Chains A and B, each alone.
Chain A
Amino acid sequence: MTSTIRSAEGYQRPDYATAAAGTARRTGGAGQLHSFLRTTAVSAAGLAVFFAAWELAALQLPSSRLVSPQATLADLIRNFVFAPRLQVFGLGRVGYGSLLLYTVRNTVLGLVAGGFVGILLGLTSARLRLLRIFVDPLVLVLGTVPVLVAAPLFLLWFGVVPFTQVLLVAFYSAVMLTLFSQRAAENLDPLYERWATTFGAGLDVRIRNVLLPGTLPEILGGIRITLASAWGLETFAEILGAPSGIGQAIKALTNMNNVSGLLACVALVAISAILTDLLLLAVAGRIMRWA
């Protein structure tokens, strides 16, 4: 007579059938392939759920509110290289693609510039107490405040130029990455650096070989999070006022009440965000095989 386990009464009770046994040897590729296929299948099913829900909603709602995924894709493809509708808005002979390029460029530029400053500031202030007491209150205020309030200000000061948006993204990235780097440096056990000192390692060696690699996983995580928000910030700044960018397309299409165009542009930003996030994840995975 075999025993059967009663279905678990606990919430999210772990699936014991997949519990890892301590020192067991690997038993070949067949099992791994099976598990990989299963995960992919479930993810695919999940994606199908998303598009099915969208399709259903589009069927129920008037086309002035929502259009189907196919219609959105069609609009996207049709207008990617050249969007005749947008010409009226003084953007020139552009398509979604070139506008998106502007957005991507600004976002990445702002993130890199601001991130560099932020990481530098965060790591040094975590290790130098004197710097810390000035950085902390600054970052505390700037960190809790919606950076968005600076968007109209920058527009007033610098005008409708790329610099306005890049500055906004850079400012946000600097604040966020200061916080993340500080936390990463704090979470890094000082034991490691102390151990390096016992080997006679100087400050520059400790920074390069202990502090930077040690804080890298958490900082990369912070970069991912910051990047995800940076997209929205850049797009928003473009909607407020910019010479180009997908935000300008969104603004124009909203004025025209063009739902398919609007959805196509939002989809483009979403796709950019998802792809760059995956890229970052892959890069992080390779860099941090040790983590």
Chain B
Amino acid sequence: MTTPVISVRHLTQTFTRTDGGRVLALDDVSLDIPAGEFACILGRSGHGKTTLLNAIAGLLPVGEGDIRALDRPVTGPGTDRGVIFQKDAVFPWMRVEDNVAFGLKVRGIDRTGRMRIAREHLASVGLEAVSRAWPRELSGGMRARVAIAAVFANDPPILLADEPFGALDYVTRRQLQAVLRELWQRTGKTVLFVTHDVEEALLLGTRVIVVSHGAIAEDRAVDLPVPRTDDDLATPQGLALKHLLLHHMGLE
């Protein structure tokens, strides 16, 4: 058995709030993600899914437990784990193409090289026409595409996405889901995708992990075709899964 790309063992995370109170965000969570998986982490707000993602991303001072990525311990953020943030993280003071090329610049790739790569990736998300624009001139959906292009341009083996499409309207969300899925299929990365949207989880994931009250309540493979349509979700198998997830979300 090959080593999992992401491995979490007995992760417990406590926070101290600004008023001094302590919060148990994750309680003894263990998880393995194999290579190439598109794992959707589903859960209600405040139940720990973002905390889990941030811990794997290395953005948290870890509590107790052990996290490994690519068989190396996670000691902080790194270029092996690309992150698409929930909040708009596109730098407003850089043009679109400079945003996408930023990670490459940090790694020391020369200007011609990184601009070429940046434009390639902007084309892959359909933004080649606005490569010289300022982020403030773009819509929310376009900025989300920039974020996707920027992460893929750095070609990390692992991609961590924290509700990246939450603030967008339905149509834009569906379009971007398609873009992300297409890029994932092409590159074969391991994706961890946090969402509170049951349909989104079912449309994108090869696996759904439900986090409830800081613990994993459900962990299922999604045996539906890739890529899938809404019709695929309407099969008895898809519907059964949907009802199960809705139940875990407290809606049924």
Chain B hits for A286, CB < 8 A: none
Range of interface residues on chain B? 20 to 34
> Which listed residue (B18, B75, B76) contacts A35, Cβ 8 A?
B18
B21 in contact with A26 (CB, 8 Å): yes
Closest approach, in angstroms, between the C-beta of B40 and any C-beta of chain A?
20
Q: Which of A7-34 contact B (CB under 8 A)?
A: 16-28, 30-34
B75 in contact with A3 (CB, 8 Å): yes
B23 in contact with A31 (CB, 8 Å): no
Within 8 Å of chain B (Cβ to Cβ): is A2?
yes
CA distance A26 to B23 in the complex (A): 8
CA distance A28 to B46 in the complex (A): 19
Within 8 Å of chain A (Cβ to Cβ): is B19?
yes
Q: Which of A21, A23, A35 has the most CB of B within 10 A?
A: A21
B62 in contact with A21 (CB, 8 Å): no
- B10-44 vs A, CB cutoff 8 Å, 1 = contact: the mask equals 00000111111111010000000000000000000
> Which one of B63-71, B93-101, B166-174 is at the A interface?
B63-71
CA distance A6 to B73 in the complex (A): 12
Name the residue of chain A whose CB is nearest to the CB of B19: A32
Given contacts A17-B15, A21-B46, contact A34 B20 (CB under 8 A): yes
Given contacts A5-B60, A5-B62, contact A19 B19 (CB under 8 A): no
Within 8 Å of chain B (Cβ to Cβ): is A1?
yes
Closest approach, in angstroms, between the C-beta of A290 and any C-beta of chain B?
19
B60 in contact with A24 (CB, 8 Å): no
Given contacts A3-B74, A16-B61, contact A21 B66 (CB under 8 A): no
Chain A hits for B237, CB < 8 A: none
Chain A hits for B76, CB < 8 A: 5-6
Within 8 Å of chain A (Cβ to Cβ): is B59?
yes
> Which listed residue (A1, A2, A28) contacts B21, Cβ 8 A?
A28
A16 in contact with B64 (CB, 8 Å): no
A27 in contact with B21 (CB, 8 Å): yes
B67 in contact with A3 (CB, 8 Å): yes
Within 8 Å of chain B (Cβ to Cβ): is A144?
no
Closest approach, in angstroms, between the C-beta of B233 and any C-beta of chain A?
29
> Which listed residue (A1, A17, A31) contacts B19, Cβ 8 A?
A31
Within 8 Å of chain B (Cβ to Cβ): is A255?
no
Closest approach, in angstroms, between the C-beta of A291 and any C-beta of chain B?
17
Within 8 Å of chain A (Cβ to Cβ): is B58?
yes
CA distance A35 to B23 in the complex (A): 15
Within 8 Å of chain A (Cβ to Cβ): is B45?
yes
B66 in contact with A1 (CB, 8 Å): yes
Chain B hits for A18, CB < 8 A: 15-18
CA distance A5 to B66 in the complex (A): 12
CA distance A25 to B46 in the complex (A): 11
Chain B hits for A3, CB < 8 A: 62, 65-67, 73-75
A2 in contact with B19 (CB, 8 Å): no
Within 8 Å of chain B (Cβ to Cβ): is A40?
no
Chain A hits for B16, CB < 8 A: 17-18, 31
Chain B hits for A30, CB < 8 A: 20
Chain A hits for B59, CB < 8 A: 16
B23 in contact with A6 (CB, 8 Å): no
A24 in contact with B23 (CB, 8 Å): yes
Interface pairs A-B: 8 shortest CB-CB: A31-B20, A22-B46, A23-B46, A24-B23, A35-B20, A6-B76, A27-B21, A3-B62
| Extra A-B contacts (8), CB below 8 Å, given A2-B66, A21-B17 | A6-B75, A16-B59, A16-B60, A18-B18, A19-B15, A21-B46, A24-B21, A32-B20
B residues at A contact (CB < 8 Å): 15-23, 25, 45-46, 51, 58-62, 64-67, 73-76
A residues at B contact (CB < 8 Å): 1-6, 16-28, 30-36
24 A-B pairs, CB-CB below 8 angstroms? A1-B73, A2-B66, A3-B62, A3-B65, A3-B66, A3-B67, A4-B62, A5-B60, A5-B61, A6-B76, A17-B16, A17-B61, A18-B15, A18-B18, A23-B46, A24-B25, A25-B21, A27-B21, A31-B17, A31-B21, A32-B20, A33-B20, A35-B18, A35-B20
